[in-house]
């Protein structure tokens, strides 16, 4: 069972959509802290909203976390399945006089609120059933169970990020624990689950800071230990405004589909709100070693796509050639229709990877720049390549083919032949190399072209280039 000396952290998403990058960052911070301390990281799917929660969203969240490499230590807990336990706690509070039955009808509450608004008063439950004799209870009227919250004094959330945040209890009304249909509220469910799961640290978005004060009231009423809270400022767009659709991608899977690597995302999300001096490149192993709650920033971090791209280029370069070939295979496997890599293509890619990976900022760029190695046969020219293979370009190509006939098929020898031809014709080496590049790859940019002639081999190279010399 629990090793009580170790922290237990959780990620508690509501499965109503994709895994949002804000949620992914929350998961990452909790995961890193668990890994840093040797504690546990657990998942709780908060599926109590039966209308908005969907199995597809649960799958999207679990897949997103898996893709990001954030593993969890136990079977996920599903909150809705624990409703009986939540009710049990509400009953206990009732029995102890720490909660009470409220028979106010919805109509009554609506007019109470209207009255408060009209009088410029804060809108909150006025405690009308708090001290009433239960004998007054109307027969057959459904009731809600409300917490008998402390009315005077303050509730202080000791937050490792925000410092002490004080709420006057007078501002917090007697919140509902069980609705009149007998269903537990979210606020009750969270507290009971966190306690039962032995959660020691709650790191989450600062949109939950007010909830923390309310949740602490329930914790106090139950006499449970309070967890350590850390409310992380939300992520903002590059312009400093709250993150929204107009800033672009929001879902983790969109970042995957744009060609960002999981290790890039881990590093990037870490830096959105946590810092270690001026370090920008912080691989996960290092992050696990360094991560602490104290260095989480107090002000909102801004998305920075340039930084994301630079990090991705870095992690692409860092990956082994063999792994990158697998990543390319996975990438083209997600295309419609899905593509696969032949053994020949894999062998070529391994050989060509050192220069290919030097220039790619995303997996899409890498796969695109490697595509000329996937299959055999003449290339389809893009517009720029077509402009190179004019009559003049084709004549140069033909002269080059004549020059390499019988030459050893190595990058060095093939480059020598091109230099000699350029000299002979008094043109630049580029004027020879570009037609070769265009014919061989269908593009005007590629890794060093003589090395690529070598990677493709003599027969395939000649077949491709001859297609543009007639």
Of 24, 189, 190, 216, the one binding ligand GLU (CB under 6 A) is 190
CB neighbour list of residue 221: distance below 8 Å, 6 or more residues apart: 93, 98, 99, 147, 148, 149
**How far out from the chain centre does Cα 390 lie?**
47
Nearer CB in complex with ligand GLU: 210/275: 210
Tokens standing for 97?
């006089």
Is residue 379 close enough to count as binding ligand GLU by CB under 6 A? no
Is residue 418 close enough to count as binding ligand GLU by CB under 6 A? no
Tokens standing for 317?
């370069």
Of 30, 46, 301, 348, the one binding ligand GLU (CB under 6 A) is 46
Is residue 13 close enough to count as binding ligand GLU by CB under 6 A? yes
Nearer CB in complex with ligand GLU: 13/259: 13
Binding window for ligand GLU (CB under 6 A); candidates: 8-16, 53-61, 422-430, 457-465 = 8-16
Q: Give the containing element (helix H, strand E) for 166.
A: strand 163-168
Is residue 20 close enough to count as binding ligand GLU by CB under 6 A? no
**How far, in Å, CA of 340 to CA of 40, rounded?**
38
Of 82, 204, 357, 394, the one binding ligand GLU (CB under 6 A) is 204
Is residue 14 close enough to count as binding ligand GLU by CB under 6 A? yes
**How far, in Å, CA of 266 to CA of 76, rounded?**
22
Site size with ligand GLU, rule: CB under 6 A: 7
Nearer CB in complex with ligand GLU: 12/70: 12
Q: Has 245 been annotated as catalytic?
A: yes
**How far, in Å, CA of 306 to CA of 272, rounded?**
13
The minimum distance between CB 46 and ligand GLU, in angstroms, equals 4
Nearer CB in complex with ligand GLU: 124/208: 208
Catalytic annotation, pick one of 245, 298, 339, 425: 245
Nearer CB in complex with ligand GLU: 229/274: 229
Is residue 415 close enough to count as binding ligand GLU by CB under 6 A? no
For residue 1, with 0-12 CB atoms within 10 Å meaning exposed, 13-18 middle and 19 or more buried, which class applies? exposed
For residue 460, with 0-12 CB atoms within 10 Å meaning exposed, 13-18 middle and 19 or more buried, which class applies? middle
Is residue 12 close enough to count as binding ligand GLU by CB under 6 A? yes
The minimum distance between CB 371 and ligand GLU, in angstroms, equals 40
Is residue 193 close enough to count as binding ligand GLU by CB under 6 A? no
**How far, in Å, CA of 401 to CA of 387, rounded?**
20
**How far, in Å, CA of 382 to CA of 386, rounded?**
6
C-alpha distance from residue 238 to each of 246, 303, 304, 306, 401 (Å):
11, 5, 6, 10, 52
Of 130, 132, 208, 346, the one binding ligand GLU (CB under 6 A) is 208
**How far, in Å, CA of 182 to CA of 176, rounded?**
11
Residues contributing to the site for ligand GLU (CB under 6 A): 12-14, 46, 190, 204, 208
User: Which residues are the active-site residues?
Assistant: 245
């Amino acid at each position: 069972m629990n090793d009580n000396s170790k922290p237990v952290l959780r990620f508690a998403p509501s499965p109503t959509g994709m895994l949002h990058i804000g949620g992914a960052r929350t998961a990452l911070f909790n995961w890193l802290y668990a890994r840093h301390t040797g504690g546990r990281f657990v998942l709780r799917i908060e599926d109590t909203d039966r209308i908005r929660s969907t199995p597809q969203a649960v799958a999207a969240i679990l897949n997103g976390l898996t893709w990001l490499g954030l593993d969890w230590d136990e079977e996920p807990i599903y909150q809705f399945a624990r409703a009986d336990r939540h009710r049990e706690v509400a009953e206990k509070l009732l029995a102890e006089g720490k909660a009470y039955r409220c028979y106010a009808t919805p109509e009554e509450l609506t007019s109470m609120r209207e009255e408060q608004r009209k009088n410029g008063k804060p809108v909150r439950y006025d405690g009308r059933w708090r001290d009433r004799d239960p004998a007054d209870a109307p027969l057959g009227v459904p009731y809600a169970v409300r917490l008998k919250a402390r009315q005077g004094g303050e509730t202080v959330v000791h937050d490792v990020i925000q410092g002490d945040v004080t709420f006057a209890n007078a501002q917090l009304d007697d919140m509902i624990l069980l609705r009149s249909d007998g269903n537990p509220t979210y606020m009750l469910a969270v507290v009971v689950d966190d306690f039962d799961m032995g959660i020691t640290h709650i790191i989450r978005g600062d949109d939950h800071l007010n909830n923390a004060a309310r949740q602490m009231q329930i914790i106090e009423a139950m006499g449970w230990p309070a967890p350590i809270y850390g409310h992380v400022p939300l992520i903002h767009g590059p312009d400093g405004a709250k993150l929204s659709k107009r800033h672009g991608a929001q879902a983790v899977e969109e970042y995957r589909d744009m060609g960002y690597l999981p290790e890039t995302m881990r590093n990037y999300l870490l830096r959105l709100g946590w810092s270690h001096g001026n370090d920008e490149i912080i691989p996960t192993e290092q992050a696990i070693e360094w991560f602490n709650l104290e260095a989480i920033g107090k002000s909102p971090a801004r998305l920075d796509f340039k930084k994301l791209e630079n990090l991705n280029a870095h992690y692409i370069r860092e990956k082994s050639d063999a792994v990158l070939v697998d990543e390319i295979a996975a990438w083209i496997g997600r295309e419609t229709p899905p593509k696969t890599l032949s053994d020949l293509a894999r062998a070529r890619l391994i050989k060509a990877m050192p220069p290919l990976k030097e220039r790619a900022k995303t997996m899409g760029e890498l796969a695109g720049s490697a595509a000329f190695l996937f299959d055999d046969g003449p290339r389809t020219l893009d517009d720029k390549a077509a402009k190179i293979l004019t009559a003049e370009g084709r004549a140069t190509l033909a002269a080059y083919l004549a020059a390499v006939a019988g030459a050893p098929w190595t990058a060095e020898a093939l480059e020598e032949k091109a230099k000699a031809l350029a000299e002979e014709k008094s043109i630049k080496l580029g004027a020879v190399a570009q037609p070769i590049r265009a014919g061989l790859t269908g593009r005007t940019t590629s890794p060093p072209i003589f090395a690529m002639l070598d990677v493709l081999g003599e027969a395939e190279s000649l077949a491709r280039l001859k297609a543009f010399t007639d």
